[in-house]
Amino acid sequence: MEIRIQKAKITAENRIEIKYQQKNQTGGWNEFSLSCIEQAEPEFYTALSALAADVVEMCEQPESYIDRIKVRGVSYSYGGDAEVMGATISAGMTLLNSNCPLNMNTPHKASDSYNDGPADEKQLLSGDCFDRLRSLHSLAERYVKGTRAQGDLFADTTSAGESVTVTGEQLEAATH
């Protein structure tokens, strides 16, 4: 089953929300969404947090702000004949003199040119950012297919033969 993630995020209530498309038999895309309280694999939170460096870079913020940024989600898009992946990263930044975070969205950038012409480098994702986005995409796919923090919902055990548990401290560390 071919899946394309459109959005992967963690809500304020710590729910995992994923919007995705699944290719049907005629080659078209059906759209689905899910909102679950089950925690994702620890790697999902780590992959989301790793995008903070890209938020700093794309929003042209000082590198010293990275510890104040909490990535909440990614919106993916697919354009052109080659269905080139693009993305916008959403995050909150802790402010020193406010009780509410500053909400930030990166500019939308693509992994390649949408057409046959040369790409404007300012509109492209860096190679490292693209790799991080693909990693999150893969982990979101795994979540859609049933893999959660406690293991695969559709199997008796995980591949190692044991279930996986994420503690509150691990979740907190991975999302900050």
CB proximity list for 134: less than 8 A, separation 6 or greater: none
Q: How confident is the model at residue 106 (pLDDT cuts 50, 70, 90)?
A: very high
Indicate the SS3 state at residue 143. helix
Distances (CA, A) of 169 to 38, 125, 147: 16, 32, 21
Distance (Å, whole) CA 83 – CA 121:
18
Q: Tell me the pLDDT tens digit for each residue of 132-145.
A: 999 999 999 999 99
Is this prediction's pTM over 0.95?
no
Q: Tell me the pLDDT tens digit for each residue of 26-80.
A: 989 999 999 999 999 999 999 999 999 999 999 999 999 999 999 999 999 998 8
Task: Report which DSSP code applies to 78.
Answer: E
Q: Which residue has the higher pLDDT, 157 or 71?
A: 71
Indicate the SS3 state at residue 147. strand
Determine the pLDDT at residue 160: 44
Distance (Å, whole) CA 108 – CA 38:
29
Token pair recorded at residue 37: 């309280």
pLDDT at 19 over 70: yes
Give just the sign of the alpha carbon dihedral 32, 24, 145, 110. Answer: negative
Distance (Å, whole) CA 6 – CA 120:
23
CB 12 within 8 A of CB 32: no
Q: How confident is the model at residue 16 (pLDDT cuts 50, 70, 90)?
A: very high
pLDDT at 167 over 70: no
pLDDT at 172 over 70: no
Q: Which residue has the higher pLDDT, 160 or 98?
A: 98
What average pLDDT does this structure show over 147-160? Answer: 61
CB 117 within 8 A of CB 81: no
pLDDT at 159 over 50: no
